[in-house]
Amino acid sequence: MRLILLGPPGAGKGTQAQRLVHKHGIVQLSTGEMLRAAVAAGTPIGLQAKEVMASGALVPDEVVIGIISDRLDQPDMKNGFILDGFPRTVPQAAALDELLKKKHIKLDAVVELRVNESALLNRVETRVAEMRARGEEVRIDDTPEVLSKRLASYRTLTEPLIHYYSERRKLLTVDGMMTIEHVTREINRILSAIGATEPKATPKAAATAGARKAAKPAGKKPAKTAKKAAKAAPKARKAASKTPKRAAKKAKKPAKKMSKKTAKKAVKKVTKKRAKR
């Protein structure tokens, strides 16, 4: 299973990604984590990213795509992956398509969690108010003001991906305003509907199923044949006993008829000879 999760900040992409990872045994790919891992490992693309990050600039798309390319070659990717937070723009999506095409990897679906932005802002405002009332510290990036900026950025940069993947018939939309459990069930339902979650039979299981299928009719047909043969045997014996008698009768009838004809012909010949004399 190979998926991309789309949705604005606060839509619940991270929660649903973790549930998909747990249920289907796939790998969640986070560009931030992949960048840090590549830098720590000292790979060529990781060293390139390290220089860019050290300067405080944004990592170019080609570097991010290079890191994703290296990650897709790892053994743990055989069951599939889920991309959360990438691609963020149409050019990134086009570059990802080219990468997957080169690696002969098929993207199963892009799941969009559609939410009401006003409702998201109300949720954050309520949560922040409750935390402050309890005297708890509120994170700087978890405020209505920050969320408003992130939502505006999403609308400008990422929302065009909905049209991009819809044109390619990859987009599946889920109501992200439902409860977490309902969203999870709906995602699994639509993935099952398109065949993305169907388990593939192992060679051993297929061989066992084939052996059972072959053995089942093999046990029934001889039994039926034996019963039919047993029922037909008395009829065959009766027919066999009648055959000689019928043959004998047929043989006698022609013989009698032939002898009478021959006698008549002989009498006619004798009569003609006498008449000539």
The catalytically annotated residue of 2, 13, 71, 170 is 13
Determine the Cα–Cα distance for residues 64 and 224; give it in Å rounded to an integer.
68
Dihedral angle sign, alpha carbons of residues 67, 89, 197, 176: positive
169 flagged as catalytic: no
- Sheet (strand 109-114) strand order: 27-29, 81-84, 2-6, 109-114, 171-175
Determine the Cα–Cα distance for residues 89 and 61; give it in Å rounded to an integer.
10
The residue length of the chain stands at 277
13 flagged as catalytic: yes
Question: What is the DSSP annotation of 198-242?
Answer: PPPPPHHHHHHHHHHHHHHHHHHHHHHHHHHHHHHHHHHHHHHHH
The catalytically annotated residue of 139, 220, 256, 274 is 139
Q: How far is CA 164 from CA 67, 68, 116, in A?
A: 23, 20, 21
> Cβ distance 13 to 84 under 8 Å?
yes
Short-list 6, 2, 20, CA closest to 165: 6
260 flagged as catalytic: no
Q: How far is CA 33 from CA 62, 67, 93, in A?
A: 17, 10, 19
127 flagged as catalytic: yes
Short-list 40, 89, 91, CA closest to 67: 40
**Burial degree of 78 (CB within 10 A; 0-12, 13-18, 19+):** exposed
The catalytically annotated residue of 23, 88, 114, 123 is 88
Provide the annotated active-site residues.
13, 88, 127, 139, 150
